[in-house]
């Protein structure tokens, strides 16, 4: 799929929960992206040495949305952008989720790992026969805001929060272990790597097919530097190029 350096203009940038933002960008070229792909973002700031990768939360023609949490200097500056401000991005990057081959899907999100799964769920619902279950885990009540996005898709999520502020107190793995009759589902998951390992361990024992969106610190984000390579059954593969989406059985989880 073609990718390009593209000018972007901020349409909105709203704090949806403490330190969690949703930014909408209008881009000069509306190339279609696949759920699970990402973009490399650069502020028009000489102090930003490396571009910042973000999963694509949604796309409608030449409008892209990114869900992000303020974690450091770049995202702090990103949160200050206003309508009309400019940036530039490279997209679409990476390999996204494959087309869904069945009619039952279980989505398991941890934190802002919700972003690519929301995009995937929205696309999956183009299949009117799709049966979807959605589990969300997070540290606090931001998960309620994530679940609110799903309501517009007529989906309801089961939620777990570490502080017990909403939903079940605990982790999304606790929810997964309480979810019945999922052996004929395909699992799609994104979030912290320890969570992904636990999801894979549970699913592997039950013989459930899995796909994971992995997180990594990218240097180039274009596949040149191999700084994000992971070990798989097919050798070393790059999270930014062959990934970030990998089939669960292909990953050597003990090496991550």
Tokens coding 182: 């999922």
Q: Residue 69 domain-assigned? A: yes
In a domain, 19, yes or no: yes
Residues 181 and 106 sit within 8 Å (Cβ to Cβ) = no
**pLDDT over threshold 60, residue 250:** yes
Are β-strands 86-93 and 38-43 bridged in parallel, bridged antiparallel, or unpaired? antiparallel
122/184 same-domain check: yes
- Residues 12 and 24 sit within 8 Å (Cβ to Cβ): yes
Asked whether the beta carbons of 8 and 25 are under 8 A apart, the reply is: yes
Q: What is the pLDDT of residue 63?
A: 96
pLDDT above 70: residue 3: no
170: in domain: yes
Question: Within this chain, do residues 134 and 158 fall inside the same structural domain, yes or no?
Answer: yes
pLDDT of residue 157: 96
> Is there a domain that residue 141 lies in?
yes
Give backbone dihedrals phi and psi of 30, rounded to 5 degrees, phi first.
-90, 65
- Please report, rounded to a whole number, the percentage of residues in the chain having pLDDT higher than 70: 95
Would the pLDDT of 235 be above 90? yes
pLDDT at 46: 67
Question: Quick one: 63 and 116 in the same domain?
Answer: no
Backbone angles phi, psi at 255, to 5 degrees: -95, -5
Domain boundary residue among 93, 125, 159? 93
Q: Report the pLDDT value the prediction gives residue 180, as an integer from 0 to 100.
A: 92
Specify the range with the lowest mean pLDDT, choosing from 5-9, 210-214, 244-248: 5-9
Round to the nearest angstrom and report the end-to-end CA distance of the chain.
Answer: 28
How many structural domains compose the chain?
2
Which residues sit opposite 5 in a β-bridge?
90
Report the pLDDT averaged over residues 83-97: 94
Q: Is residue 246 part of a domain?
A: no
Query: What is the mean predicted confidence (pLDDT) over 156-176?
Result: 96
- Residue 245 is assigned to a structural domain of this protein: no
Residues 116, 170: one domain? yes
| Mean pLDDT, all residues of the chain | 92
Same domain, residue pair 62 and 109: no
Is residue 33 a part of any domain in this protein? yes
Q: Which domain holds residue 170?
A: 104-213
pTM of the model: 0.95
Mean pLDDT for 158-180 is 95
Q: What are φ and ψ of residue 184, in 5° steps?
A: -100, 15
Q: Which residues, in sequence order, are CB contacts of 254 under 8 Å at separation 6+? A: none
């Amino acid at each position: 799929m073609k990718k390009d350096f593209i000018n972007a203009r901020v349409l909105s940038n709203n704090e949806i929960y403490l330190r969690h933002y949703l930014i909408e960008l209008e881009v000069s070229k509306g190339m279609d992206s696949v759920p699970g792909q990402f973009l490399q973002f650069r502020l028009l700031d000489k102090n930003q040495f490396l571009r910042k990768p973000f999963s694509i939360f949604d796309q409608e023609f030449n409008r892209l949305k990114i869900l992000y949490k303020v974690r450091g200097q770049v995202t702090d500056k990103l949160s200050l952008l206003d309508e009309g401000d400019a940036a530039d991005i490279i997209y679409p990057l990476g390999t996204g989720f494959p087309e869904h081959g069945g009619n039952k899907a279980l989505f398991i999100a941890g934190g802002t790992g919700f972003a690519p799964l929301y995009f995937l769920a929205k696309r999956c619902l183009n299949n009117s026969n799709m049966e979807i279950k959605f589990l969300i885990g997070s540290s606090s009540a931001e998960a309620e805001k994530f679940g609110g996005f799903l309501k517009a898709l007529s989906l309801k999520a089961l939620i777990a929060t570490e502080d017990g502020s909403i939903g079940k107190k605990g982790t999304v793995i606790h929810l997964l272990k309480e979810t019945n009759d999922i052996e004929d589902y395909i699992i799609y998951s994104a979030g912290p790597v320890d969570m992904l390992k636990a999801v894979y361990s549970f699913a592997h024992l039950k013989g459930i097919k899995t796909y994971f969106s992995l997180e990594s610190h990218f240097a180039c984000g274009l596949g040149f530097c191999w700084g994000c390579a992971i070990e798989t059954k097919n050798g070393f593969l790059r999270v930014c190029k062959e990934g970030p989406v990998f089939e669960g059985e292909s990953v050597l989880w003990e090496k991550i």
